[in-house]
Structures are given as structure tokens and as C-alpha cells.
Amino acid sequence: MISQEKIKELEVFALKIRIETLKEIGHLGFGHLGGAMSIVDTLAVLYGEVMNIDPKNPKWEDRDWLVCSKGHAGPAIYAALALKGYFSIEQLKTLNKPGTSLPSHCDKNLTTGIDMTTGSLGQGSSAAVGIALGNRLDGRKNTTYLILGDGEIQEGQVWEAALFAAQQKLDNLIAFVDYNKQQLDGYTKDINDLGDVRAKFESFGWHAQEVDGHNVKEIYEAIDKAKKVKGKPSAIVLHTVKGKGCCFAEGIVDNHHMTVNEQQINEALAILEEKLDKAVRS
């Protein structure tokens, strides 16, 4: 059971992540806005409450691991990491600029707090399975969390990893599918229809659930339920909106990678900052 106070705290954290993500992309002038914004609420739950982590000791061996296989969502993860104290908020202004430690796609060799380099879609699933298996073999009790894009799960590698994870009974692995129904160049239903994603994972031997991916209470409760499942990995299908919380990106088709101007960013930030102020004062 999660308290109303904690729900409010996580909603506030999600707003802060959205604000910092927009600022990052605004400083750069372009970026992967849509898919970064759609996973913010899940990141708020993971970094704000669920994951066993220590920002002062990011390489702690018994920490929970996060593999964002859709590595282009890095800006949202960087915002969460900065807000948790892994590095300074000021560093977010360097996103994808020369000499930065915050590249467009997640890179564990550059960014403090990133557990796995990703971006070649599908490969993060195999990495997460390997991490979960390795930690279990080493006797650790931690959990590996995996974030997949819905367009990404059209990759065969994802399902090879899913088969192996079920075969190995990796109950220390929880995967999220950011099911925003869009991919780089259109809607998934028009390009390569995914059908019933939850049923697909179940047919591969996984425990699977579906939730509103912008409801922190539902996300938290789904993770809590998944962690109690023994003998099989878990998948949580997040029904999301690509570009969620960004007034000029939410609900449009061409929001995977966008060029943005100062006026757009300022208008979107004003809306989010007003919501944050109301949430803090309520």
C-alpha cells in the first residue's frame, strides 16, 4: 500500500523531471522529446521510491540496476539522476554538446548513474537479462529493471531475451514496455501492429500486467505485485502518451525527435511550473 503523501511526492518528482528534461532539450534546441516524456512517471516511481540505490556510491554492487533499452530517452533519465544528486543540475545544460558526459543515448562509460550503454534497439533487453542472471549467480538479492519502447519490441532480439529470461526463471527482472503507440515514423498499428502486448509476454512465460503509465499509484502497485512473483520474470505494459506533459509535443505524430525554439520551451515550462507550484501548495 502506498500512502497519499507518497503519491503526491512522486507526482511532484515527475513534474520536476519533466521540467528539467524540457530545459535540457531547450538548451540544445532539438532532441528525443516524445519518448523521454512518456516514461517520466515510471522514472519518478523507480528513482523516487522503489529502487535501492545510493547516489554517493553509484557503483554499489548490491544496488538495483536500470537498463533503458530505448536509450534515446536518456534526457529524462539524466534529469532524474541529477535531481537525485548523482551530478549537478547545471550539468544538464550540456546535453549532447561537444565534450559532454550526457550523450543523446545512454552511455555507462560517460554518465554517472547509468548502468548500461544502450541505443541500438533491442540490445538492452539481452543486457538486462544477463545482468539479472549474473547478479543471481553472485547471490545478490537486487532487482534489474528494463525499459523497452513499443516500437523497439518489434525487434526479434527482445523476444529471444524474453524466452531465455523465462527459461532461467529470472524473477529478479522487471521489464516495462512504454506503450505510447507511436514509433519514429508513425503509429505502431500502421507500421507493425503489436497486438496484445501483455498476452505476448504471458505466452513467453512471463508474469504480465497493464497499467496507466502516467498514474504513479498504479505503477508502484504493479511493481510491488511483480516483486512478489516467484519463478518468472515480470512485464508491466505502460499505456502512455508520447510527449506527455509537453504542450507542443503531446498528441502529435512527429514528436520522436524534434527541433524546438525558445518560445515553445518557455510556454511548456510555464504550464509545468504552474502545475508544480499548485502540487507543492496543495
Pairing between β-strand 207-212 and β-strand 182-183 as defined by DSSP bridges: unpaired
> What proportion of the chain, given as a percentage, has pLDDT over 70?
100
Task: Say what the pTM is.
Answer: 0.97
pLDDT recorded at residue 114:
98
pLDDT recorded at residue 55:
98
Tell me if 108 sits within 8 A of 114, measured CB to CB. Answer: yes
> Rg (Cα) of the chain, in Å, rounded?
18
Distance in angstroms (rounded) separating the CA atoms of residues 170 and 128: 11
Distance in angstroms (rounded) separating the CA atoms of residues 68 and 53: 16
Could you confirm whether domain 4-281 is CATH 3.40.120.10?
A: no
* Per-residue pLDDT reduced to its tens digit, 225-269: 999 999 999 999 999 999 999 999 998 999 999 999 999 999 999
* Per-residue pLDDT reduced to its tens digit, 116-159: 999 899 999 999 999 999 999 999 999 999 999 999 999 999 99
Tell me if 70 sits within 8 A of 58, measured CB to CB. Answer: no
How many Cβ atoms from other residues are within 10 Å of residue 81's Cβ? 26
Q: Which long-range contacts (CB under 8 A, 24 or more apart) does 191-200 make?
A: 191/151, 191/154, 192/151, 192/154, 194/150, 194/153, 194/154, 197/150, 197/153, 197/237, 198/235, 198/237
How many Cβ atoms from other residues are within 10 Å of residue 167's Cβ? 10
Residue 109: pLDDT band (50, 70, 90) is very high
pLDDT recorded at residue 251:
85
Pairing between β-strand 186-187 and β-strand 182-183 as defined by DSSP bridges: antiparallel
Q: Where are the domains of the chain?
A: 4-281
Pairing between β-strand 258-259 and β-strand 30-31 as defined by DSSP bridges: antiparallel
Question: Which residues lie across from 235 on neighbouring strands?
Answer: 175, 208
> What proportion of the chain, given as a percentage, has pLDDT over 90?
98
Distance in angstroms (rounded) separating the CA atoms of residues 24 and 89: 10
Distance in angstroms (rounded) separating the CA atoms of residues 223 and 80: 19
CA angle, residues 61, 67, 69, in degrees to nearest 5: 160
CA angle, residues 46, 48, 52, in degrees to nearest 5: 65
Please classify residue 207 by burial: count the beta carbons closer than 10 Å to its beta carbon, then call 0-12 exposed, 13-18 middle and 19+ buried.
buried
* Per-residue pLDDT reduced to its tens digit, 55-65: 999 999 999 99
